[in-house]
Amino acid sequence: MQKMPLFELPEEKGDVSLDMPLAARMRPRSFDEFIGQEHLVASGRVFRSCIESDKLPSIILWGPPGSGKTTLSHIIASITSSHFSSLSAVSAGVADLRRTIDEARKRMKFSHQRTILFVDEIHRFNKAQQDAVLPFVEDGTITFIGATTENPSFEVIAPLLSRCRTFRLNMLSEKAVREIVEMARVDMERGIGKLKVNISEEALHHLVAMSNGDARMALNALEMTAAATTANSNGGRYIELPAIEETLQHRALLYDKKGEEHYNLISALHKSLRGSDADASLYWLGRMLEGGEDPFYIIRRLVRFASEDVGMADPQALTIAVAGQQAVHFIGMPEGKLAIAQVVVYLATAPKSNSVYKAYSNVEEDVKHSYNEPAPLHLRNPVTGLMRQMEYGKGYKYAHDYANHFVKQQNLPDSLQGKRYYSPSNQGYEREIADRIKRWWGENKPQP
């Protein structure tokens, strides 16, 4: 296999340097060494079969950090007969792309060898850079592989996305991360086996849990802790929980305020609130706040929820949500977290009704798609003499002049008489509202 013109992969240099981070040294060299992502790499799977037969189409590998995207590209480089070129979207530009594609053209012309172009962190390429790749994917000059932690639907231009198969890599399970850590601990060639490292079950559990599915983070934390641990009289090193806690002081939270996780978690919060699950609602709130989400974004969504999903079943919900916004504005963060949590618990445990939401949606439809008749004359305010001459306000019935301060009269345009937009549920305070409307108007609002 020919050498890549740019950014050579470590495996192509013939050996693994001990100066490299442990995660890079332990990178799997074949599918047999690869742990996790069985839905892609298990024997007989289409993805693996395409690579082994060197008939891989243009693809996008999408998954969280440390899930194996770059590792898969290395495996492809090691077993494909195609020439493999690798670029990093962090440092490469259009000039690098053009140079790589020119070389691919010459390679196809003179040696009839295909070129696989791997672009790591493709989401960092702007539209113009992605456009530069498109024609050469289309005409077969290159087979394109892009790797990204971001949802391709948001970060990859539609024409390029339509020409690629997208493969989703899942967050590694705790079992998979534990197995990877154990392999590195005992490996004498590429791991830290020569340091004779043992690790307590508590420390191992903490290391795996805090890595949050990121094998790269787990391995590099293991290496750092092992290096900082003093060898005992037998030359071995024993890692206990305090050492791992010191190395991994903060958990790697999978959250991007502008990416897919932003939308996933706010959706999970909203649906948990709607499902009246206070515990799940608090959990998703915590995931967002501890991940660095703007608290006012969350509060805005909670205010919306108070009207959309609680509505008149508990009119106090809107007051509570707005009070939460005022509290966060007044005391700031992190103290304001408790105010938001209080709002979340109140909304989760409140009776639910979407009657106001449905009512206004129906109003919108009629306003947009029906004839906008003028207000009936008797509802118009006769503020001038001319208006009185034109009978503005004539026949209007003043509700306070009637028993129980209610009187039946036409309040909608002629074409919409009898139309019912708001139908209260039987939840919470809306039961009383429903009874009141029934007393006034009967089962259906009658014509006056």
| Phi-psi label, residue 393: left if phi above 0, alpha if psi -120 to 50, beta otherwise | left
Q: How confident is the model at residue 1 (pLDDT cuts 50, 70, 90)?
A: very low
| pLDDT recorded at residue 150 | 85
| pLDDT recorded at residue 352 | 94
Summarised one tens digit per residue, pLDDT across range 231-261 is: 888 889 999 999 998 888 765 555 555 566 7
Instruction: Share the mean pLDDT of the chain.
Output: 86
Q: Structure tokens of 343?
A: 């709002």
Q: What is the arithmetic mean of pLDDT over 413-439?
A: 85
Summarised one tens digit per residue, pLDDT across range 389-410 is: 888 888 888 888 888 888 888 8
3-state secondary structure of 127: helix
Q: How confident is the model at residue 411 (pLDDT cuts 50, 70, 90)?
A: confident
> In the chain, which residues fall in CATH 1.20.272.10?
260-349
Contact assessment for residue 445 and residue 421, using Cβ atoms and an 8 Å cutoff:
no
> In the chain, which residues fall in CATH 3.40.50.300?
10-168
> In the chain, which residues fall in CATH 1.10.8.60?
174-247
| Sole residue written with tokens 């504005």 | 329
Q: How confident is the model at residue 306 (pLDDT cuts 50, 70, 90)?
A: very high
| pLDDT recorded at residue 8 | 41
Percent of the chain past pLDDT 70, that is, above it, reads: 92
Task: Report the CATH architecture of 10-168.
Answer: 3-Layer(aba) Sandwich (3.40)
CATH class, range 260-349: mainly alpha
Between CA 45 and CA 416 the distance in angstroms is: 60
Q: What is the arithmetic mean of pLDDT over 40-58?
A: 90
Q: How confident is the model at residue 444 (pLDDT cuts 50, 70, 90)?
A: low
| pLDDT recorded at residue 384 | 86
Q: What is the arithmetic mean of pLDDT over 428-444?
A: 83
Can you spell out the DSSP letters for 254-277?
A: ---TTSHHHHHHHHHHHHHHHTT-
Q: Residue 163 contacts by C-beta under 8 Å, 6 or more apart in sequence?
A: 58, 134, 137, 138, 144
| pLDDT recorded at residue 38 | 92
Q: What is the arithmetic mean of pLDDT over 38-51?
A: 91
| pLDDT recorded at residue 138 | 87
Q: What is the arithmetic mean of pLDDT over 160-188?
A: 92
Write phi, then psi, for 147 (nearest 5 degrees): -120, 135
Between CA 249 and CA 165 the distance in angstroms is: 38
Q: How confident is the model at residue 445 (pLDDT cuts 50, 70, 90)?
A: low
Between CA 221 and CA 332 the distance in angstroms is: 34
3-state helix, strand, coil in the chain (%, to 5): 55, 5, 40
| pLDDT recorded at residue 14 | 46
Q: What is the arithmetic mean of pLDDT over 166-172?
A: 91
| pLDDT recorded at residue 264 | 84
Q: How confident is the model at residue 197 (pLDDT cuts 50, 70, 90)?
A: very high
Residue 26: closest CA among 191, 196, 218? 191
Residue 226: closest CA among 250, 205, 243, 207? 243
Asked if pLDDT for residue 371 goes beyond 80, the answer is: no
Summarised one tens digit per residue, pLDDT across range 92-120 is: 888 888 899 899 889 888 888 888 899 99
Element containing residue 320 per DSSP (H, E):
helix 316-331
Between CA 13 and CA 138 the distance in angstroms is: 32
Summarised one tens digit per residue, pLDDT across range 311-361 is: 999 999 999 999 999 999 999 888 899 999 999 999 999 999 999 999 988
Contact assessment for residue 65 and residue 216, using Cβ atoms and an 8 Å cutoff:
yes
| pLDDT recorded at residue 287 | 87
CATH class, range 355-441: mainly alpha
H helices of 57-168, in order, are 69-79, 94-111, 127-138, 152-155, 158-162
The fold of 174-247 is: Helicase, Ruva Protein; domain 3 (1.10.8)
